[in-house]
């Protein structure tokens, strides 16, 4: 028989900013004989729903003061939470006329949400919770006697009878993660790390596992996927509508494909399709329909696209789904997938993971690279074509069609691993050379990949040319226009070579290494 069933009175303190499920939970607790204590907006919400609740100020004998900054920081609250359920502590509580608090259901002021909507410093500071973390940490410390709940998903546990010691420890650990992530967000904001130009002196990464994978990059490596704080990701939070569970490499490639697709979606009018292999684009195209964009991207490098990951920028319908027939793919991610398309994939391509990207989710601002013993950190490269000031530096300026292809090729090469050179023509990549240790090797690979399709194409490089060799190679292959950042010592020689060979050349003034 549980203590509730034995008629022993228990008290629950409920004070939540996120009120998801709280009314039903509180009503069930009250029906089971729990006495409910509450504060502020939560108290008002419970009473408005007809749920009996006692104000914490009635328990402490002291009103809320300082515009609500102080209301639970009192021995009647923290004594009731922290007292060990043993004779000495219980007698001491009784001597002071205090009772125990057996359940703490608290989540915190919406600091991160307040900052995210562009609040002032003053408003952000007012949304730093003090009493909430104190109660959560106190309850977690005394989890043997106090049930601590910070997540609505855990509310049913309190209604199922006695909670095991192991489950109490799990909830306590979750509570400490909750307050740790909250403090990390505050410190990052105050140090300028929440969008400012400087990186903070100390960087705390609150990570919570959201998915287990069978293994990492290779079968002998364990792997998992984690969320950073409360951030949402288009792939991390994608909805799976068909196919097998995602692998470690699937997550990495899908994230890379979606990032490039979204970059191009911001500058192209048609449907964009991006095919990625090992985090590098291998076929990218724009067309009037998703089906046509896929076919152009597939044909750009039909060998490399086998076993690849594909992202598209428009909903996938049955026609687009059926266009993938005959090509083995690992993942397809789109902003939406029609029910007919999802059913076709499930029946015809049961191994293909089909994802609907999380709407409104954006990549975080930090880019982290592991080092032995630490991390290298930088701000993510968010510079777009609109942020550049591209300038034609040769006698012949690009034609309108060449400008369009240069802009397209620039987006692709920005998302390819360095050294990288991309050839494109009429809104489709015809050659991609990425991850080379020499720029001329990257160019040679791109030209070889293009073959005859290099005639009339444009070339984009993510970094400057130290010599004129890439220009001469490009002209010999039939390339008509070249884009690069500029800034090399031999820029005059490179420009002179382009003029000599009749190429137009554009400097963007901005390199985009991607290692």
| 481 SS3 class | strand
CATH 3.30.499.10 is the classification of domain 10-190: no
Q: Is 141 a catalytic residue?
A: yes
Q: Is the dihedral of CA 279, 282, 286, 292 positive or negative?
A: negative
Predicted local confidence at residue 198, as pLDDT: 66
Nearest to 332 by CA among 359, 313, 304, 360: 313
DSSP state of 316: B
Give the chain's radius of gyration (CA, Å).
29
- In this chain, the answer to whether the domains covering 10-190 and 233-356 adopt an identical fold is no
Query: Which class for 46: exposed (0-12), middle (13-18), buried (19 or more C-beta within 10 A)?
Result: buried
385-507, CATH topology level: Cytidine Deaminase; domain 2 (3.40.140)
Q: Where are the alpha helices (DSSP H) in 72-212?
A: 75-82, 87-95, 111-116, 121-126, 131-141, 165-190
Catalytic residue among 19, 89, 141, 244: 141
Residue 179 CA from chain centroid, whole number: 20
CATH 2.40.128.260 is the classification of domain 233-356: no
Domain boundaries, the chain: 10-190, 233-356, 385-507
Give the strand order in the sheet containing 54-55.
54-55, 34-38, 10-15, 103-106, 147-149
| 279 SS3 class | coil
Predicted local confidence at residue 455, as pLDDT: 97
Predicted local confidence at residue 189, as pLDDT: 79
The structure's pTM equals 0.81
Nearest to 459 by CA among 394, 513, 506: 506
Dist. CA 309–CA 442, nearest whole Å: 22
Dist. CA 80–CA 15, nearest whole Å: 16
For the chain (515 residues), the mean pLDDT of every run of 10, in chain order, is 46 86 86 85 85 81 73 77 81 80 86 77 81 87 89 84 86 89 80 60 82 94 90 93 95 96 93 96 97 97 96 97 96 97 96 95 85 91 94 97 98 97 98 95 96 97 96 97 96 97 97 94
Helix, strand, coil in percent for the chain, rounding step 5: 40, 20, 40
Predicted local confidence at residue 63, as pLDDT: 75
Question: Which strand (E) or helix (H) includes residue 404?
Answer: helix 400-414
Nearest to 477 by CA among 439, 423, 441: 423
Q: Is 19 a catalytic residue?
A: no
| 324 SS3 class | coil
Catalytic residue among 278, 348, 415, 455: 278
């Amino acid at each position: 028989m549980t203590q509730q069933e034995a008629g022993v009175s228990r008290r629950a303190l409920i004070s939540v900013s996120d009120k998801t499920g709280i009314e039903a939970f509180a009503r069930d607790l009250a029906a089971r004989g729990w006495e409910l204590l509450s504060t502020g907006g939560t108290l008002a919400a419970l009473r408005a729903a007809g749920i009996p609740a006692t104000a914490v100020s009635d328990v402490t004998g002291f009103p809320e003061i300082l515009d609500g900054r102080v209301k639970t920081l009192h021995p009647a609250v923290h004594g009731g939470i922290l007292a060990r359920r043993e004779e000495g502590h219980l007698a001491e509580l009784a001597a002071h006329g205090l009772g125990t608090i057996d359940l703490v259901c608290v989540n915190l002021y919406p600091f991160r949400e307040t900052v995210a909507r562009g609040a002032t410093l003053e408003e952000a500071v007012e949304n730093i919770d003090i009493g909430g973390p104190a109660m959560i940490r106190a309850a977690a410390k005394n989890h043997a006697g106090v049930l601590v709940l910070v997540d609505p998903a855990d509310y049913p546990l309190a209604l199922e009878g006695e909670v095991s010691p192991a489950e109490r420890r799990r909830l306590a650990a979750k509570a400490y993660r909750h307050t740790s992530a909250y403090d990390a967000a505050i410190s990052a904001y105050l140090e300028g790390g929440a969008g400012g130009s400087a990186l903070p002196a100390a960087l705390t990464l609150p990570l919570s596992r959201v998915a287990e994978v069978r293994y990492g990059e290779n079968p002998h490596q364990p792997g998992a996927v984690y969320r950073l704080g409360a951030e949402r990701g288009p792939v991390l939070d994608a909805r799976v509508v068909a196919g097998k569970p995602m692998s470690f490499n699937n997550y990495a490639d899908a994230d890379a494909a979606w990032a490039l697709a979204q970059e191009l979606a911001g500058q192209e009018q048609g449907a964009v399709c991006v095919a990625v292999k090992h985090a590098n684009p291998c076929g990218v195209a724009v067309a009037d329909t998703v089906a046509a964009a896929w076919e152009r991207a597939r044909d750009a490098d039909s060998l490399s696209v086998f076993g690849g990951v594909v992202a598209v920028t428009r909903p996938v319908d049955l026609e687009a789904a059926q266009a993938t027939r005959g090509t083995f793919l690992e993942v397809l991610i789109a902003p939406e997938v029609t029910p007919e398309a999802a059913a076709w994939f499930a029946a015809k391509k049961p191994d293909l993971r089909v994802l609907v990207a999380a709407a409104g989710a954006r990549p975080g601002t930090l880019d982290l690279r592991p080092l032995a013993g630490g991390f290298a950190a930088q701000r993510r490269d968010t510079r777009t074509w609109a942020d550049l000031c591209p300038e034609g530096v040769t006698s012949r300026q690009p034609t309108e069609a060449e400008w369009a292809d240069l802009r397209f090729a620039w987006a692709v090469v920005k998302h390819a691993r360095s050294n990288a050179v991309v050839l494109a023509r009429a809104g489709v990549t015809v050659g991609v050379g990425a991850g080379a240790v020499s720029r001329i090797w990257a160019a040679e690979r791109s030209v070889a990949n293009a073959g005859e399709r290099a005639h009339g194409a444009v070339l984009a490089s993510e970094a400057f040319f130290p010599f004129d060799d890439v220009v001469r190679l490009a002209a010999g292959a039939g390339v008509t226009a070249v884009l690069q950042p500029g800034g090399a010592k031999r820029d005059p020689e490179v420009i002179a070579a382009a003029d000599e060979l009749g190429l137009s050349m554009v400097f963007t003034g901005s390199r985009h290494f991607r290692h």
